Structure 1
């Protein structure tokens, strides 16, 4: 693949766009995007609908990895008011196929437009893979008065991306919205229930752009929970004159401080219960996001984790990975997809990161070989996990059993809470097991020298 084939070995394998043809087509598409799409780039699905060409064929065409027939290329050009010229196309031969991936990538109209995957997926990104059964349920439930939605998944599974879409949907309905992330609270504030609930109330006021009147409603004799409740019911909800969607991210952060958890979590449940019979509270719609509930320091009747609509976000299946590969313009075989899946499973963040690097021209063999090392594409992620594990030395012995034994294993709730929150384990019918082979191989090498 690194050397140019000799003339007698060249074989014609259909047509690809010439550099000049690709430039003409890009310019024509940009004109239509400016005129008809407010300058926003067409998604793969929009291009497919406009041209009558499948997204997979379009991906092959942009990547120049396999030849396309002239009729299909002509359809594409005509869709953007261009006549196909002989100079716009060239045969795909062994020589063309031997061009290094980076050369092909530079000529693709969309390569430079695919951002480095980091954090939640923006609401206007075409690379969000919905889970129809989950997403649609959430969108329908948020319309119901006094609803509570609980979204559970490890980090990197798309909780925040779904939250963004829920908030967008709520805004489109004319609802007031506020999102509070418990990762943003100072450790000292979190440790003190009174300080934490005052922080929570103040942040909520700021998010809703309301003047804080907390001191008028705060009474230490009544206590922090009742003061917060009165403030929300009497000072915030009536001012809005519309439903409030209140999103609380990283709820499990409260578990770090037992007394704060004992105040906050029953409080959230009480608001949900009040909304079942109080018209003011009916305007509150709670959305709770958390990575684990394997360990709860609460009586079941005080917990907010057994009320409302529960949504546990699953891994991507191979069909969803294939769909995401198309959106990253990665053209590969089912067998190649299976090899990636066998190593990292369907964890969305790991899948997206791999597809981004494949899109940039990295070979799958190189990616898979280096992935479980501190030189591969996941090095920052793996270094962070190793540092966390070494911080909790009591995890190491039990983790070693999980690394050695692929069958489900019993774990005590506190340990399961830590490991599930880190995304290292998943619950199975007979217990817990490591969430993917990537972690097993990495820990064998860097923790246990197995």
Structure 2
């Protein structure tokens, strides 16, 4: 669907036969008359309207949305999304202004600024290729707009040529059709909670949407970065997004452009379109900074033309719209780097440059990833090489690496090289040859020698290896003890060999590891990054950011119900600030499957069965005070966040919060 006309206004409607459409001539808000249908899609229809005010000669774009159901919650969410877009358009000239939004006869309408121009599907055409200069100019301008959008905590969700307009009057690009509003038409309400209908993902355009968004789980701003990168590659290659070849988690495109694109710019685009969200630039600001570095380093003789960057627009922050309250941010996944809702909880040397090994341990949805991406960003700003390896991905591979230490360590080395080469280095991958020809029989020694000789010796900057979800190999008798002992060797080598001072590690996990001796473990050296639960003062900060003015009694009631659980506190404040429910309703529904934590409660219930810890948890819930239980099962329950250690006696544990006590006592057959 296109949201533009590319001819003069007095040519807007001649020759059109829209009389059959029941919307033609319809009047909205006693102010706007529908004049012409522009198009439609799975989420609704788009029309051109004129004002009934004789003094107003402007045309308007009207979007009519088709919710799959009628429910007051859907209208509330639509109003919230529309009000956010209204603020965006008021403060940035390259985002259409929203003039009005309304519900009429159980249908939703969004009335927006009409953009006179054409969309970029008329410029990015199959078989026609843009130059690198054209593409960098395009990226710079759109990243400038998205930097503003992401700064306000908003995700576009549907970047593609058809949603980028070239305005006729000044030739500037305008970003249109934010997917958050279109998403309204794909939602259903189950048990009082809004959910995405899994059979309708119309706000997700095939080819442009990253894998996680196609599965209904956009990874915040990096999802926009992927879609914009695909658009740029389409412009460079002349190959449509849906036809771009994808293999082994990569977009294969460089062979289509040969030497016409510089290595640095090609690496930049490949990072944008990485299938792994954490390997992309995390928001538009970071991507724009990297693009600026590439152009700054370009030889002046090849850059004699005018700089591709458009003049920066001095855009006021939306904070001016309200002096204290930022736009609400849905608490789902890692907290974005520039989010005003991130609360620093770590008092240790989280960003210390001298720290060779940092260990981040916390339960699920406790903020591990949010803390880790901030550490990664800090190291990236220092110019260090970053390699992120997620052990959760082993679930998607064959079982051979998990059954053979040699194969596992070879894959480990190859993954490091691939990550570095994806970022522009050119390190030879001779892992298999090294393993075959090395006279050293020990696999750990082969790995250590390889990393020292072929990686650390080659790179000219420190290397930071992030090992995420290492719990996935806990208890694997084939590899875990040997691999973790090897990491300990890496750490200790720093003291005796300068070359190993180039290596830093960040290990992220939920459970304690107790399967090896202390002098062979990386889990008792380096620095532990503790992520404590929210304190009362931090909840007060979040209340202010959500525009809520609570009494001390209400804060105490919240902390009693969910403890200082970072995710649950954020969810509570978001739902109440967004008027999804009152505070008393939240307290009533929170420990039930009709409340906002239903999916989490069912997830925990499944893990109680999976790890056979029901009986131990029943003991915890039955006790009126802290109680001692089996140490291994206490470790599992603590990693799930269901229990907390007694401050006076760490060997004893108690239920983490009232929410878990109420829910699981009922489901485990105990009286409430």
Q: Does 1:323 align with 2:541?
A: yes
Note the residue ranges of structure 2 that are not aligned, 5 or more in a row.
1-83, 96-140, 154-315, 422-426
CA contact (8 A) 1:26 1:109 kept: no
**Which has the higher mean CA deviation after the structures are superposed, 434-443 or 23-32?**
23-32
For 1:275-424, what aligned pairs fall within 5 Å after superposition?
275-293=494-512, 295-361=513-579, 362-393=581-612, 395-424=613-642
Which SS does the other structure have where 1:256 is aligned?
coil
- Going from structure 1 to structure 2, the CA distance change for 1:369 and 1:230 (only over 3 Å counts) comes to same
* Larger proportion of helix: 1
Q: Distance in 1 between matches of 2:387 and 2:514?
A: 26
The 5 Å alignment of 1:155-304 reads 155-186=364-395, 188=399, 189-209=401-421, 210-219=427-436, 222-293=441-512, 295-304=513-522
**SS of match in other structure, 1:218:** helix
CA contact (8 A) 2:410 2:432 kept: no
Shift in Å, 1:174 = 0.6
Distance apart, 1:28 and its partner CA? 5.7
Q: Structure 1: any 5+ residue segments left out of the alignment?
A: 1-21, 45-79, 81-87, 89-106
How high is the TM-score relative to the length of structure 1? Answer: 0.73
Alignment CA distance shift 1:317-1:31 (3 Å): farther
User: Does residue 153 in structure 1 map to residue 358 in structure 2?
Assistant: no
Residue number in structure 1 paired with 2:310: none
Distance 1:43 1:26 in 2: 9
The verdict on how the C-alpha distance between 1:342 and 1:280 changes in structure 2, with shifts beyond 3 A counting, is same
Q: Deviations over 1:261-301 (max 9, x none)?
A: 111111110000011111111100111111121x5111111
Q: Which residue of 2 aligns with 1:439?
A: 660
Match runs of 1:72-83 below 5 Å: none
TM-score, scaled relative to structure 2: 0.50
Corresponding residue SS for 1:138: coil
Q: 1:211 to 1:422 in 2, by over 3 A?
A: farther
Deviation, 1:30, is 4.4
**Does structure 2 conserve the Cα–Cα contact (< 8 Å) formed by 1:258 and 1:297?**
no
Mapped contact 1:194–1:224 kept (Cα < 8 A): yes
Superposition deviation, residue 43 in structure 1: 6.6
> Higher relative contact order by CA 8 Å / sep ≥ 6: 1 or 2?
1
Give, in whole Å, the separation in 1 of the partners of 2:516 and 2:569. Answer: 36
Q: Secondary structure of 2:489's partner?
A: helix
- Paired residue for 2:67? none
The alpha-carbon distance between structure 1 residues 37 and 298, as it changes in their structure 2 partners (threshold 3 A), is: closer
SS of corresponding position for 1:288? strand
